[in-house]
Chain A
Amino acid sequence: MAVSRHTRRMNLIAHGVGLGFALFSVLPIVWLVITSFKTEAEIVTDTITFLPQSLQLQNYRDVWAQSNYPSLMWNSIVTTFYTVTICMVAGSLAAYSFSRNAFPLRRELMLFYLVVRMFPAVLIIIPLFLILRTVGLLDTRFGLSLAYASFLLPLFVWMMKGFFDAVPPDLERAARIDGCTRIGAMVRVVLPLVKGGLGACAVFVAIGAWNEYLFALMLTSSAGSRTWPVGLQMMVGEFQLPWGLLAASGVISILPVVALFAIVQRAMVRGLTVGAIKG
């Protein structure tokens, strides 16, 4: 009986600890949301109130109407779209090839795709700045998305390879007997089976591109291509901080991330762990 009581107590402690970590992770975000509904006077006060007196939507209205936030978001959307497209097309093909074929140098190439993550961002940013300037893609959304591919594409390939590996190769052999070409077998038979994984990898890449700050800071400079993280940071002035506005724009910006993560979290968690464990 002692064992079962011990186990039950351990279980209780575990639930407590788990819940504690969940709160620790979420409460700061909750505070951000609360702040976004407060008036400036409520935020900048000597006596902190935990809940807003009333739900103030003024911050959101201001962000939307009186700043260039909508255009920042639009730039981010376009850049993210380009990045996801590059990764989906180039990355899926490469991942499929790595998963299915044993060709010379395959191991070395895959290792290379992994090692590139070791290169410091700054070491890549500087030459990229020069290259993009030379080819006229500096300060463009497409140029920025190419830069994002430098760290997101290798990740995408590794994650996606895990999903392709789970599809039995006999399916493509059967499809070839049934009359498909190799690419036909991939498109008609394999892709429908990795839809979930493809979606998860795409979301992962999308979040990475959506959130990125450093490359965007260096490689964009005009309102026509600046993304929201850079724009948000520019709101942080030297002295008086517009906390309410910052909070509201923060909430708006992480909303799509949280929503996408909630939708595909299961498949994404699987893909991430497979990619990371094998790497």
Chain B
Amino acid sequence: MNALAIRNIQKSFGALKVLNGIDLTLEEGGFLVLLGPSGCGKSTLLSIIAGLEDASAGSIEIGGREATGLHPRDRDIAMVFQSYALYPSMQVERNMGFGLEMRGAGVDERKEKVGAAADLLGIGALLERKPAQLSGGQRQRVAMGRAIVRKPRLFLLDEPLSNLDAKLRTKMRGEIKKLHQSLGASIVYVTHDQVEAMTLATKVAVMRGGTIEQIGAPMTIYREPDNLFVAGFIGAPPMNFVRGRIVEGGGFAPDGGGDRITMPAMEHRLEPGREIVLGVRPENLRPIPPGVSPEGLLRFNAVPDVIEPMGADTMVHFRVGQSELIARLDGQTEVSGSAPMELGCEASALHLFDATTEQRLRPA
């Protein structure tokens, strides 16, 4: 059974279309991340799932039950807000138990369930405090606690980590993953941080301009991005792109001049004159020792502009035609100043996109 199934959700504010027909399903116990830049409609979509906003068209099913038009209270969901939205006038205990209170639960039941959730999150000692007396990390935990107290069908998390500093964010990311596994809960999680998406999700939906660009398992999206936008959004540092055209004899001429590049043998049908975008992830580039010319590699002649040693890795910036590229090399690699070097990439790790449609080119 699906924890969530939404069909053709549309939303517009006056003439402005924010969501153009979104279809999604999330299986029981799954972790769906809605990923995209700000303004892509991911938060609006979450609000619609929560019932805080009405969709202009479309339907929502939560836990196999029709939920379109239902009050948020009747959808069997809980939500964690980016701002945490803890009630400032109430102590932590009442904050966490407020949902139960509103549903008519007795004092004892509330105490028991709040206590259990607090123990799980390690905030048992904070129950008497007001939100103003808590640190950022503690508030985040209380917000999580308020959501899990009610054991809802579906958890909705709206950028829950973006108000934390980098160190705490990494820690809480791990805890959310652990919670997901131990509770077996179904979660929809909104973020603009692709690292959170990669590490947490069982399923990622990359959104842009009110449309889902690609949906699938994180590694699938990483390995086979459907289009230029997804390819550029997933991965850090982002994928390198080189625009150019196929020339007679299977070569590739980058726009704006520069050396012609020999393409390795590929299953794609690439007729000469076709304009394409070549995509190479920085981590797929490796140095080729001088004098060696292995088969099946795409090769760049690179003159390093900037070299950034980071310990485990070394980032090498170089140019091909008009494009600036980054290679992420092993930290042990010897890279020196402006000495030219040859960098190669396996044909299997090469991404090809149509220059006009920006869609991935698939083997014929």
**Touch between chains A and B, by CB atoms below 8 Å:** yes
Interface residues of A (CB under 8 A from B): 168, 170-171, 173-181, 184, 189, 192-193
CB atoms of A178 and B81 under 8 A apart: no
A-B pairs, top 4 by smallest CB distance, nearest first, are A179-B102, A170-B85, A178-B99, A174-B85
CB atoms of A180 and B102 under 8 A apart: yes
Residues of B within 8 A of A189 (CB): 87, 89
CA distance A100 to B142 in the complex (A): 26
Could you give, for residues 63-97 of chain B, a 1 whenever the CB lies within 8 Å of some chain A CB and a 0 otherwise? Answer: 00000000111000111011101111100000000
Decide if B265 is an interface residue (CB 8 Å cutoff): no
CA distance A148 to B77 in the complex (A): 47
Residue from the list B86, B89, B99 in contact with A177, Cβ < 8 A:
B99
Decide if B50 is an interface residue (CB 8 Å cutoff): yes
Whether A168 touches B83, Cβ cut-off 8 Å, given contacts A176-B52, A177-B52, A193-B89, is: yes
Decide if B98 is an interface residue (CB 8 Å cutoff): yes
- The secondary-structure label for the interface of chain A is helix
Residues of A within 8 A of B146 (CB): 174, 178
Could you give, for residues 11-51 of chain B, a 1 whenever the CB lies within 8 Å of some chain A CB and a 0 otherwise? Answer: 00000000000000000000000000000000000010011
Since A170-B83, A173-B81, A177-B52 are in contact, a sample of 11 more A-B pairs with Cβ atoms closer than 8 Å, ordered by chain A residue number, is A168-B85, A170-B85, A173-B79, A174-B87, A177-B99, A178-B98, A178-B99, A178-B102, A180-B73, A192-B89, A193-B88
CA distance A174 to B102 in the complex (A): 12
CB atoms of A171 and B99 under 8 A apart: no
Residues of B within 8 A of A181 (CB): 71
CA distance A177 to B95 in the complex (A): 13
The minimal Cβ–Cβ distance linking B82 to chain A, given in whole angstroms, is 8
Q: What number of residue pairs across chains A and B have CB atoms under 8 A from each other?
A: 54
The minimal Cβ–Cβ distance linking A96 to chain B, given in whole angstroms, is 17
The minimal Cβ–Cβ distance linking A150 to chain B, given in whole angstroms, is 34
Decide if B268 is an interface residue (CB 8 Å cutoff): no
The minimal Cβ–Cβ distance linking A27 to chain B, given in whole angstroms, is 42
Interface centre among A168, A171, A184, A193 (most CB of B within 10 A): A171
CA distance A173 to B99 in the complex (A): 12
Decide if B103 is an interface residue (CB 8 Å cutoff): yes
CA distance A184 to B101 in the complex (A): 13
Instruction: Show 29 A/B contacts (Cβ-Cβ < 8 Å), sorted by A.
Output: A168-B83, A168-B85, A171-B88, A173-B47, A173-B50, A173-B79, A173-B81, A174-B81, A174-B86, A174-B87, A174-B146, A176-B52, A177-B50, A177-B72, A177-B73, A177-B77, A177-B99, A178-B73, A178-B146, A179-B99, A179-B102, A180-B102, A181-B71, A184-B102, A189-B87, A189-B89, A192-B89, A193-B88, A193-B89
CA distance A179 to B149 in the complex (A): 14
CA distance A173 to B87 in the complex (A): 11
Closest to B47 in A: A173
CA distance A189 to B71 in the complex (A): 18
Residues of A within 8 A of B89 (CB): 189, 192-193
CA distance A173 to B47 in the complex (A): 9
CB atoms of B87 and A176 under 8 A apart: no
Residues of A within 8 A of B51 (CB): 176
The minimal Cβ–Cβ distance linking A255 to chain B, given in whole angstroms, is 33
Residue from the list A171, A180, A184, A193 in contact with B85, Cβ < 8 A:
A171
Interface centre among B47, B81, B102 (most CB of A within 10 A): B102
CA distance A179 to B73 in the complex (A): 4
The minimal Cβ–Cβ distance linking A113 to chain B, given in whole angstroms, is 25
Residue from the list A168, A173, A192 in contact with B52, Cβ < 8 A:
A173
Interface centre among A175, A176, A179 (most CB of B within 10 A): A179
Closest to B156 in A: A177
Residues of A within 8 A of B99 (CB): 177-179
CA distance A176 to B79 in the complex (A): 10
Closest to B80 in A: A174
Residues of A within 8 A of B82 (CB): 170
CA distance A171 to B86 in the complex (A): 7
Residue from the list A170, A192, A193 in contact with B81, Cβ < 8 A:
A170
Residues of A within 8 A of B102 (CB): 178-180, 184
CA distance A179 to B72 in the complex (A): 7
CA distance A110 to B355 in the complex (A): 51
Interface centre among A171, A175, A177, A192 (most CB of B within 10 A): A177
CB atoms of B83 and A175 under 8 A apart: no
CA distance A177 to B86 in the complex (A): 12
CA distance A192 to B89 in the complex (A): 7
CB atoms of B79 and A177 under 8 A apart: yes
Closest to B98 in A: A178
Closest to B79 in A: A177
Residues of B within 8 A of A170 (CB): 81-83, 85
Closest to A172 in B: B85
The minimal Cβ–Cβ distance linking A46 to chain B, given in whole angstroms, is 63
Residues of B within 8 A of A173 (CB): 47, 50, 52, 79, 81, 85
The minimal Cβ–Cβ distance linking A247 to chain B, given in whole angstroms, is 45
Residues of B within 8 A of A193 (CB): 88-89
Closest to A171 in B: B85
CA distance A176 to B83 in the complex (A): 16
The minimal Cβ–Cβ distance linking B253 to chain A, given in whole angstroms, is 53
The minimal Cβ–Cβ distance linking B83 to chain A, given in whole angstroms, is 5
Closest to B75 in A: A177
